[in-house]
Structure 1
Amino acid sequence: MNNELNPNNLKEGEDFYYTPEGYKCFTEKYHLKRGYCCKSGCRHCPYGFDKKTGTNKK
């Protein structure tokens, strides 16, 4: 596992934040560090995945 992406090394405000509903939301910076699209339709997906169509827009 990439030590930088170890869940214990994530930084709130940089790698993720909590939504008003209490969910953890990963930032674009985190997704780019991870290096691939998980195809979950993430709010800040830098890879342009569209969950409705199942395709990448970018």
Structure 2
Amino acid sequence: MKKILPVEEGDFYLSEEGYRVFTKEYHLKRGYCCESSCRHCPYGYNAKTNMQ
């Protein structure tokens, strides 16, 4: 079962376009890859091959 973590200060920053960008530390704290091609994904997900 996937954990739902509350978003805390330092877990993300806002891009120039106003989007929330999660940090590598947040992804590691969450503990799994969401397969959304996140900018700071520490799990190595590749959207082109749909694999980690």
Bigger share in strand: 1
Moved over 6 A (4+): none
* TM-score of the pair, normalised by structure 2: 0.86
1:6 aligns to what? Answer: 6
- Structure 1 regions of 5+ residues with no counterpart? none
Cα offset, 1:29, TM superposition = 0.2
Amino acid at match of 2:6: N
Which of structures 1 and 2 has the larger relative contact order (alpha carbons within 8 angstroms, sep 6+)? 2
Instruction: Specify the structure having the higher radius of gyration (Cα).
Output: 1
- Structure 2 regions of 5+ residues with no counterpart? none
* TM-score of the pair, normalised by structure 1: 0.78
Tell me the matched-pair count: 50
Q: Tell me the percent identity.
A: 56
Bigger share in helix: 1
